[in-house]
Structure 1
C-alpha cells in the first residue's frame, strides 16, 4: 500500500455531525495514514498505525471505522474523531499492518471508579432494604385497608403453594371432619376475645414441619406439623402464636418488606418473570424472620390466649423441646430464625405450672380427625 493512490474516505471531527470528505494515503515510511481534506484549505493529519483502533459493533460490515488512541497521560483513551474507510484493499492492509487495531483501551482509573460505584450501589441498596423498607412497610401495614390486606393475604398463600410445588388450591386439605375439628380449636382459642380479623385457618398437604401467618387474618399449618405433634395442645400453642402475629399485623409488615426487597433483587438480576419475587416471598414465609421483639410479643399473646382458653401451655413447651432435639439439617423450618427454643420451652412450662385447671384442646375424636385432615 506504500505509494498507492489516495483513497476517498469520510472524516468526522468528533465535535459536530458533519461529514468531511477526505483522501487517505499511507505515509512514506509506512507507519501511518495521511489524511488530506478534499479541496483547498484543508490541514493534513498523520494518524500513526500503532495508535489506530477500530470501533466494534458498527452498523455497516463493509466499512472500517477508525479512531485514534491518545498518546497523552490523561484519562481520555481515544480522540473523538472518526475515520470511515470503505476501500476493501486499504481495510485489508490496515488489518495486517496496524498492530493494535482491535485493542480495546480502558481509561485510567476505570477499575477504581467501577469498584467505587459498585460499593456505593451496595451501600444504597443496603440502606433501602434495611432502613427505608422496614419503615415504609410499618407505615403501609398500619394504613392498609382491611379488604386490601385480605386480598394480599390470599395472593401470598397462593404464591406459597406455588413455592411448595403445587398450584393455587391444589395443596389445600379438604377433609370435612378434620376442618371442622380445626374450626372448633380456633373457636376455643378466640372465644370471648375481640379479634381484629375474621381468622381463616387452613392446612396445606406438605411434609414440612411448619406453620405461618399471612396478611389479612390467614394462618396456614403444614401437614408435617400435625404429623410431628403428639397432642392437640401442641397445635393449639403454635396456632395461638401465629394468631398473635396476625393480630399484630406482623405478616403484613414482613410481606411488604419482602416484596420490596424482592423487587429490588429482581431489578438487579433482570428477572422480568417475577420468579425472584415469588421465591423470596415464599422463603420469608417459611423462615418467618420476624424480629425477636415480635416473636416475644407473639409468645406472650399465645400464653395469654391459652390461659383464657384453659389450655395448658405444656404443649407449647413440649413442642419447643422437640424443635431443640430435631436435626437442623433435616428440619430447618419452624422457628429456625427465632429465639432459643430451650428458653421458650422453659417459659411455656413455667406458665403451665401457674395456670390452674385446664382442659384438653380437642376431644380424642376431633384430634384424630385433625391428624387426618389431609387424608384422601
Structure 2
C-alpha cells in the first residue's frame, strides 16, 4: 500500500532533528525536503518505540541505536502499521503493557488508602518496575523542558555543540553516547546533552537523557573519566532511580496524579524538578550505579577504575580550591557532584576491588577527548 506524509527523523549519528518526507512502498523511504533520499528502511526491520500521544515512533533493527522516526500523520502511521510485518506485534506488546498499567492503576487506588501503613517509599519501590519505560521518558521530557529554565548557564544556548567550532565536540560526544547505548542495551536510547554551565556535574533524567555539564568536562583528565561518569549515570537510568525517587518525593499527590492521568503534569513535574535539582540518591543506589559503571566500562574495554580516580580528584580539588575573581569558590561548583556522589575512601576501595586488574584501551581517543573539551566553545 503506497502512502506518504511528513515526519521527524533523527539519524542516530548526530543529535540533529530533521523534518522529512516519508514514502511507503516496499520500504520506508526517508526523503529530505529537497528530494534527496536520506535512508531506506526495509519494512521487516521497522520496530516500534514507546510512542507519545499523537505520534508513532519507530526505529530500525540493525540500524544506529539512536535512530528514530516520528510520524504524527495518523493516516501514514496506520499505513505503516499495516505494512510493516513485525510492527503490529510490537504495537500489540505496547498495548499489553498499557493494559498492565491500567490494572496497576486500579491496584494503586487501593494502595493509596494504605500508604500510611506501608509508606510512600515502599509503594514507589513496588510501582516503578511495573511502569512502562514510556512513563520514564515522559517524565524525563517534562523535566528537561522545565529544568532548562532552572539551571544557571553561561551566555549562549543551553545545550552545547551546535556552533561550527563546537560541532566536533558534539560529534565526539555522540560517538561516546552510541557506544554507551549499544553496550547498555536499555529499552530506551541514551541521549547526552552537554550543558553550557560551570557546574561540575552529571545528571541522569528519567528515561535515558543525561546532562553532562561543561564544568565536569573541564575537570576530566582523560576520556575514560568522562566515559566512566556517564556510565555511572547510565546506571541510574537503567535502575530507574530518578523515576523511583520522583515517586517517593512526590508522595501521595504524585501517586494520585498517576491514577488520575496527570502523571507528568502539575505536582509530578515539580517533584521531578526537586529530585533532579537535589540529585541525591541513597548509598545503595550510588553503590549499584558504581558497580554498573565498572561493568559497562569493562564491556567497552575501557578502564573500570576511572570513576574512582575522578571522584578522588574532585574531592581533593574541592578541599584545595580558592575563591575566583567573582568571589565564588571553586568548591561551590565542584560540590554539586561531590555532594550527590559522595567520594568516600570506602567507595573508592569498593570500585577498585570490583574493577580488578587487566589491560584497558581508551573508550575515547585523544582526538575525541580534545574535541569534547571544546564542545562549549574554545574558551570554555
The correspondence of residues 20-59 of structure 1 with structure 2, limited to 5 A, is none
* CA-CA distance at 1:321 after TM superposition: 0.9
Give the match's secondary structure for 1:360: coil
- Contact map agreement 1:237 1:306 (CA 8 A) in 2: yes
Distance 1:131 1:159 in 2: 32
Aligned residues: 239
Aligned alpha-carbon RMSD (Å): 3.2
The residue number in structure 1 matching 2:107 is: none
Distance 1:211 1:278 in 2: 20
Answer with 1 or 2: which has the greater Rg.
1
The residue number in structure 2 matching 1:293 is: 284
TM-score normalized by the length of structure 1: 0.56
Q: 1:366 to 1:338 in 2, by over 3 A?
A: closer
* CA-CA distance at 1:194 after TM superposition: 3.0
Give the match's secondary structure for 2:212: strand
* CA-CA distance at 1:373 after TM superposition: 1.1
Q: What runs of 5+ residues in structure 2 fail to find an aligned partner?
A: 1-113, 256-264, 320-330
Greater displacement, 175-184 / 293-302: 175-184
Q: 1:339 to 1:208 in 2, by over 3 A?
A: closer
* CA-CA distance at 1:262 after TM superposition: 8.7
Does structure 1 residue 332 correspond to structure 2 residue 335?
yes
* CA-CA distance at 1:352 after TM superposition: 4.8
Does structure 1 residue 144 correspond to structure 2 residue 144?
no
- Contact map agreement 1:232 1:360 (CA 8 A) in 2: yes
TM-score normalized by the length of structure 2: 0.55
Q: Give the number of the structure whose residues are more often helix, by fraction.
A: 2
Distance 1:294 1:163 in 2: 25
Q: 1:335 to 1:144 in 2, by over 3 A?
A: farther
Q: What do the CA deviations read for 1:326-376 (whole angstroms, capped 9, x no partner)?
A: 43753321141445432222333345552x221112111111111111118
Q: 1:352 to 1:139 in 2, by over 3 A?
A: closer
Distance 1:283 1:184 in 2: 31
- Contact map agreement 1:324 1:342 (CA 8 A) in 2: no
Q: 1:199 to 1:337 in 2, by over 3 A?
A: closer
The residue number in structure 1 matching 2:56 is: none
* CA-CA distance at 1:201 after TM superposition: 1.4
The residue number in structure 2 matching 1:124 is: none
Give the match's secondary structure for 2:193: strand
- Contact map agreement 1:311 1:359 (CA 8 A) in 2: yes
Greater displacement, 284-293 / 306-315: 284-293
Q: What runs of 5+ residues in structure 1 fail to find an aligned partner?
A: 1-126, 265-273
- Contact map agreement 1:287 1:334 (CA 8 A) in 2: no
